[in-house]
């Protein structure tokens, strides 16, 4: 059977996963009466809730005698480690571009990786049925983007289609019949070459592992594309590291191939196909699984380095152990090491004392997703403020700079530019109209300046702005960036908060807790209206007397308190504060709960 391997790449929310759903339906991968969830490829709970793809997944469809392996990739740069590895196992990419928004930062990020590997893209202008769609402008922008990224003449001569993934059609012209996706299927078969590996069928077996998973029944599994040879179930293989060192010898206990949404066991894996192998105990991502007579490892893609780090520690607050079952540092360490193994963009190191672990990764979203997953698994953690990782080069200190693309209504551009280029030390690169009443701002901002900015940005633009960021380059250190301006209100007592006390404290600042909330000494319960920290008593009830006076029995009416999401809490805290994360709650606290200890530490620090 003819074979094609393609990846679908695009910016966040441009409709990749929805399009794959339609491809599966129209190729007959589902039975007529089969119940299939919307966005069938986003199988993980967090992906469904947030509407984003976090892990790359593969599927395969058959169309007129050709099997097409399709990999659905994440659009967020925080999960770029996934994208880079995935692209090395396909022969073509379908670049999906929203006909209204045009190419966006992540489009640029993923496309640059694909062009560098020499892949020839097919451009699909999606959502052309939106009222504000401008497919011709989007197409011109794609051409300019490819030219700016140094595409070859062959890559610049790309075919394009007009489509609506949700309605399930793709046509070569805007006036096409708008019936089905056959134009896309046939273009993939015509334009994408068959895997070159098929010609190497008679050589010894070689495969580069690109994703790691685990199955409750067959254990550890590795997925990748077979570079040469064939493999039968039960044959012996050896795993080599990137440097060619032997990791282990093992028997391939099972070989699975993608068929529709599921994976099915097959007897023989052939060169060019994307398959999953079980049986290994140590081999991991970027290792080569090869025939025992092969001595050289396959070249693996280098991964972009992490740019921020967060400290994961045990929860040592007075309320520790009430919600979660997994509280020991040993259990937390095992879980983080397991994560680092399957996610090559994450690095975990032990800190002196062994109670906390430094986790370095690509961005706040990636960290937020990891913490949220651990929280749902029953872990209790204390999390520090994210720190940007610096580099030393030729005696100069370098920091990561991100390219930020912002789409806002014209009335908010002044406020946004002032915030980004002022205190946050950003440089304005470009500013241009983006449709009626909207402006697109592109700036290069230090990663440090973006920590915690997203919430402020949504407030400044009344929730209408769209901000996207992607790693740009390393640049010399830009000097100090001011942190949070306001101080915090700190509880000086242990117990449950009282509505009357909170009501009296409202003139001091905004509250983070409501009445009947568990509080402890050193816990942050609100934001002070001034720039210093203030210790307060949220337990102080009303003194009762037997004298009645008019006005003493006023009803206590509390202003609704601020509720932080996990990412907002992590971005809000200062360096001497922590976020306490448990399965049921998110609390802010001082690193040192005892006030005398806090004073000692701040004296030592100054």
Find all residues with CB under 8 Å of 477, minimum gap 6, and list them. Answer: 390, 397, 398, 399
| 236-240 β-sheet, strand order | 246-251, 236-240, 288-290, 206-215, 219-228, 274-278, 254-259, 262-265
26-40, 443-457, 479-493: which has the minimum mean pLDDT?
A: 26-40
What confidence score (pLDDT) does residue 145 get? 87
Percent of the chain topping pLDDT 90 = 20
For 432-464, the pLDDT digits (tens) are 887 778 888 899 999 888 887 877 787 888 878
What confidence score (pLDDT) does residue 30 get? 52
pLDDT greater than 80 at residue 57: no
Instruction: Kindly indicate the confidence band of residue 230, based on its pLDDT and cuts at 50, 70 and 90.
Output: very high
Mark the binding-site residues, compressed into ranges.
13-18, 126-129
What confidence score (pLDDT) does residue 191 get? 92
The two three-digit tokens of residue 510, written as one number: 């905004």
Q: How far is residue 511 CA from its own chain's centroid?
A: 30
Q: State phi, psi for 532 to the nearest 5 degrees.
A: -105, 160
What confidence score (pLDDT) does residue 40 get? 41
Determine the Cα–Cα distance for residues 93 and 53; give it in Å rounded to an integer.
17
What are the Cα distances from residue 302, in Å, to 24, 81, 85, 347? 32, 9, 9, 15
Q: State phi, psi for 226 to the nearest 5 degrees.
A: -75, 115
What are the Cα distances from residue 300, in Å, to 89, 199, 209, 287, 338? 11, 21, 9, 8, 21
pLDDT greater than 90 at residue 290: yes
For residue 259, how many C-alpha atoms fall within 13 Å in the half-sphere facing its CB? 7
| Angle, in degrees to the nearest 10, between helices 413-421 and 453-460 | 160
Q: Dihedral (C-alpha) 388, 393, 394, 396: value to the nearest 10 degrees? A: -10
Cα angle vertex 257, ends 256, 263, to 5°? 75
What confidence score (pLDDT) does residue 523 get? 93
Mark the binding-site residues for GTP, compressed into ranges.
13-18, 126-129
Other residues' Cβ atoms within 10 Å of the Cβ of residue 275: 23
Instruction: Kindly indicate the confidence band of residue 483, based on its pLDDT and cuts at 50, 70 and 90.
Output: confident
The two three-digit tokens of residue 60, written as one number: 């395969």
For 177-208, the pLDDT digits (tens) are 888 888 888 999 999 998 888 888 889 999 98
DSSP 310: E
For 361-402, the pLDDT digits (tens) are 877 777 888 898 899 889 999 999 888 888 888 888 898 888
Determine the Cα–Cα distance for residues 511 and 359; give it in Å rounded to an integer.
31
Give the global pTM: 0.71
pLDDT, the chain, mean:
83
What confidence score (pLDDT) does residue 530 get? 87
* Whether the Cβ atoms of residue 310 and residue 384 lie closer than 8 Å to each other: yes
Find all residues with CB under 8 Å of 87, minimum gap 6, and list them. Answer: 7, 9, 73, 93, 113, 114, 117, 119, 301
Instruction: Kindly indicate the confidence band of residue 43, based on its pLDDT and cuts at 50, 70 and 90.
Output: very low
Q: Which residue has the higher pLDDT, 16 or 551?
A: 16
Q: How far is residue 176 CA from its own chain's centroid?
A: 37
pLDDT greater than 50 at residue 52: no
Instruction: Kindly indicate the confidence band of residue 311, based on its pLDDT and cuts at 50, 70 and 90.
Output: very high
For the chain, which domains are there? Answer: 2-194 (3.40.50.300), 198-290 (2.40.30.10), 309-373 (3.30.70.870), 391-476 (3.30.70.240), 488-545+554-605 (2.40.50.250)
The two three-digit tokens of residue 379, written as one number: 């872990």
For 266-279, the pLDDT digits (tens) are 999 999 888 999 99
Determine the Cα–Cα distance for residues 333 and 546; give it in Å rounded to an integer.
58
Three-class DSSP category at 65:
coil
**Minimal CA–CA distance to 464: which of 416, 512, 504, 506?**
416
The two three-digit tokens of residue 76, written as one number: 């967020």
Instruction: Kindly indicate the confidence band of residue 58, based on its pLDDT and cuts at 50, 70 and 90.
Output: confident
């Amino acid at each position: 059977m003819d074979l094609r391997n393609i990846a679908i790449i695009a910016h966040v929310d441009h409709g990749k996963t929805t399009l794959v759903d339609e491809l599966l339906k129209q190729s007959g991968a589902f039975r007529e009466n089969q119940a299939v969830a919307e966005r069938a490829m986003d199988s993980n709970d967090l992906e469904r809730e947030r509407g984003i793809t976090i892990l790359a997944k593969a599927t395969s469809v058959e169309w007129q005698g050709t099997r097409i392996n399709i990999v659905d990739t994440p659009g967020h740069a925080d999960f770029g480690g996934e994208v880079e590895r995935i692209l090395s196992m396909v022969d073509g990419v379908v670049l999906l571009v929203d006909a209204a928004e045009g190419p966006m930062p992540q489009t640029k990020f993923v496309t640059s990786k694909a062009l560098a590997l020499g892949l020839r893209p097919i451009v699909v202008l999606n959502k052309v049925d939106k009222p504000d769609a401008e497919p011709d402008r989007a197409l011109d922008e794609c051409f300019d983007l490819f030219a700016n990224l140094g595409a070859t003449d062959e890559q610049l001569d790309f075919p394009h289609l007009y489509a609506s993934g949700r309605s399930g059609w793709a046509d070569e012209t805007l006036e096409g019949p708008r019936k089905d996706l056959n134009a896309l299927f046939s273009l993939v078969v015509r334009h994408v070459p068959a895997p070159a590996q098929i010609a190497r069928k008679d050589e010894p077996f070689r495969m580069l592992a690109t994703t790691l998973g685990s199955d409750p029944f067959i254990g550890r599994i590795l997925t990748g594309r077979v570079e040469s040879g064939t493999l039968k179930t039960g044959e012996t293989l050896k795993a080599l590291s990137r440097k060619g060192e032997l990791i282990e010898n093992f028997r391939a206990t099972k070989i699975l191939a993608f068929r529709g949404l599921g994976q099915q066991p097959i007897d023989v894996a052939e060169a060019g196909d994307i398959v999953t192998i079980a049986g290994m105990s140590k081999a991991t991502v970027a290792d080569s699984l090869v025939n025992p007579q092969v001595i050289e490892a396959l070249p693996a893609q280098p991964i972009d380095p992490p740019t921020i780090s967060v400290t994961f520690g045990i929860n040592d607050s007075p309320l520790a152990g009430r919600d979660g079952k997994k509280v020991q540092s040993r259990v937390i360490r095992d879980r983080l090491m397991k994560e680092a193994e399957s996610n090559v963009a994450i690095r975990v190191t032990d800190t002196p004392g062994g109670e906390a672990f430094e986790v370095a990764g690509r961005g706040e979203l990636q960290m937020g997703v990891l913490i949220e997953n651990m929280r749902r698994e029953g872990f209790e953690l204390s999390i520090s403020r994210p720190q940007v990782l610096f580099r030393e080069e030729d005696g100069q200190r370098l920091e990561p700079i991100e390219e930020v693309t912002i789409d806002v209504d014209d009335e908010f551009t002044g406020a946004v530019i002032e915030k980004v280029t002022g205190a946050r030390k950003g440089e304005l690169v470009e500013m241009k109209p983006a449709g009626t009443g909207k402006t697109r701002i592109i700036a290069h901002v230090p990663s440090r300046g973006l920590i915690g900015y997203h919430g402020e940005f949504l407030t400044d633009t009344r929730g209408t702005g769209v901000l996207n960021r992607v790693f740009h380059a390393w640049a010399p250190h830009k000097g100090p960036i001011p942190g949070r301006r306001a101080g915090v209100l700190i509880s000086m007592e242990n117990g449950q908060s009282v509505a009357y006390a909170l009501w009296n404290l409202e003139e001091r600042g905004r509250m983070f807790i409501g009445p009947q909330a568990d509080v402890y000494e050193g816990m942050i319960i609100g934001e002070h209206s001034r720039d210093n920290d203030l210790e307060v008593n949220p337990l102080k009830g009303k003194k009762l007397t037997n004298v009645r006076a008019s006005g003493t029995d006023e009803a206590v009416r509390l202003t609704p308190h601020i509720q932080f999401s996990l990412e907002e809490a992590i971005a809000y805290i200062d360096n001497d504060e922590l976020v306490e994360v448990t399965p049921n709650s998110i609390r802010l606290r001082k690193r040192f709960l005892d006030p005398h200890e806090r004073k000692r530490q701040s004296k030592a620090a100054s």
